[in-house]
């Protein structure tokens, strides 16, 4: 339990740190996603928020079978973390969990049609890295799928924090490492 509670403490600390970024959620700007990467003692946590509009081209509840399929297909793609964000090979990171949440996803699953306004995809990954000293950066591969999106990113490690605006041409988020 000690590990778990430490992990949550760290996550909460990280979330406080990027509170200004997260405030944008719910009133998101189309074309802009948010990414938080935190690394501590080999535990790599990734929190990615994207406007559904940028993922699907719509963000209302699905009104056709094709739209339902599009939502579920997107969720499946997000469940392959190493195709979305790729840490350094040398760090030996393996995926522990991948979760995808969206009001549209629940609407698609329950065949509901009463979602209105903005909707996000909120994606959370946990990875365990055998050699964290080689963990120096994370490359965002999401742009191969969604080339038009811009991501406001923040990386928090034991050694410091980095902020970056990432896009198709600048897709690498540097992690502060030991001096």
Using the contact rule CB under 5 A, the part of the chain among 41-49, 94-102, 113-121, 137-145 near Zn ion is 113-121
Rounded to whole angstroms, the Cα distance separating 24 from 21 reads 6
Rounded to a whole number, what is the largest CA-CA distance in the chain?
A: 54
Smaller CB separation from Zn ion, 56 or 175: 56
CB of 47 to Zn ion, least distance (A): 19
Choice between 51 and 87, CB closer to Zn ion:
51
By three-state DSSP, how is residue 14 classified?
A: helix
Q: Is 118 in the site for Zn ion (CB under 5 A)?
A: yes
Burial of 122 (0-12, 13-18, 19+ CB in 10 A): middle
Between CA 49 and CA 36 the distance in angstroms is 9
Give the count of residues interacting with Zn ion (CB under 5 A).
3
- The binding track of 35-74 with respect to Zn ion, each residue x by CB under 5 A or -, is ----------------x-x---------------------
Determine the Cα–Cα distance for residues 94 and 144; give it in Å rounded to an integer.
21
Instruction: Spell out a b/e string for 123-139, using b for 16 or more CB atoms within 10 Å of the CB, else e.
Output: bbbbbebeebeebbbbe
How near is the Cβ of 129 to Zn ion at its closest, in Å? 34
Residue closer to Zn ion, measured from CB, 53 or 82: 53
The nearer residue to Zn ion, 72 or 118, going by C-beta atoms, is: 118
Q: What residues line the site for Zn ion (CB under 5 A)?
A: 51, 53, 118
């Amino acid at each position: 339990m000690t590990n778990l509670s430490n992990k949550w403490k760290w996550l909460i600390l990280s979330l406080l740190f990027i509170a200004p970024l997260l405030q944008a959620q719910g009133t998101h700007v189309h074309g802009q996603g948010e990414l938080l990467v935190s690394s501590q003692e080999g535990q790599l946590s990734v929190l990615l928020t994207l406007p559904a509009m940028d993922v699907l081209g719509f963000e209302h509840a699905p009104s056709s079978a094709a739209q339902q399929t599009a939502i579920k297909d997107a969720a499946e793609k997000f469940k392959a973390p190493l195709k979305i964000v790729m840490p350094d090979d040398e760090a030996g990171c393996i995926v522990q969990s991948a979760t995808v949440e969206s009001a549209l996803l629940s609407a698609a699953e329950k065949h509901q049609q009463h979602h209105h306004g903005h909707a996000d995809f909120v994606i959370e990954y946990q990875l365990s890295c055998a050699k964290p000293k080689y963990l120096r950066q994370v490359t965002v591969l999401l742009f191969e799928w969604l080339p038009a999106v811009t991501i406001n990113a923040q990386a928090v490690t034991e050694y410091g924090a980095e902020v970056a605006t990432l896009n198709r041409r600048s897709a690498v988020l540097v992690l502060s490492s030991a001096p």
